[in-house]
Amino acid sequence: MQRNVRSVYWEAPEHFHIDKTGDWYWILGIFAIAGSVSSIIFGNVLFGIVIILGATVMMLYAHHPPRIINFEISARGIRVENTLYPYSTLESFFIDEDHRHGPQLIVKSKKLLSQFLIIPIPEENSDEIEIMLASRLHEEYLEEPIAHKLLEIFGF
């Protein structure tokens, strides 16, 4: 018998945090300086400055642990903190049970600039989430975008 679930609420970190060693920061700094110097040699000083600023922001961002974010799936849509994604703006979903950091919900959006929502979900809520979403969205096999996988590999 299928039960009727009204909403599912949970908290999770915004990303899986990997502690960085000193070597990680050195490598990022070396790449940033090499890219910046190359850019300046080829006559693009502004891009060299942008590379250094970007690497600085990456170092500062990588040092802080992830925030805990509130998630909710309700009759209106999917809420991530204070942002509601109505079902009318979403196309399909997939629950990846085999992800190396635990199950995650991948939602494909109709919006051009934010095509995927990738949300970590607790194992105990996986069935409830699937029941709620299956009645409103099409379920299809979706994969995490390559850019997201690369950022995860590099520790972001």
- What is the three-state SS of the chain? CCCCCCCEEEEEECCCCCCCCHHHHHHHHHHHHHHHHHHHHCCCHHHHHHHHHHHHHHHHHHHCCCCEEEEEECCCEEEECCEEEEHHHEEEEEEECCCCCCCEEEEEECCCCCCEEEEECCHHHHHHHHHHHHCCCEECCCCCCHHHHHHHHCCC
pLDDT of res. 103: 87
pLDDT of res. 3: 53
Which pLDDT tens digit goes with each residue over 17-54? Answer: 777 888 989 999 999 999 999 999 999 999 999 999 99
- Give the best-scoring range by mean pLDDT among 27-36, 61-70, 102-111: 27-36
> Residue 18: exposed, middle, or buried by beta-carbon count in 10 A (0-12, 13-18, 19+)?
middle
pLDDT of res. 51: 96
pTM of the model: 0.71
Give the separation between CA 141 and CA 125, rounded to whole angstroms: 19
Give the separation between CA 24 and CA 20, rounded to whole angstroms: 6
pLDDT of res. 1: 41
Angle CA 119–123–126, to nearest 5: 70
Q: How far is CA 97 from CA 26, 28, 31, 141, 143, in A?
A: 35, 32, 35, 12, 12
User: Which is nearest to 99 in space by CA: 154, 20, 156, 152?
Assistant: 152
Q: Judge whether residue 114 has pLDDT over 70.
A: yes
pLDDT of res. 107: 92
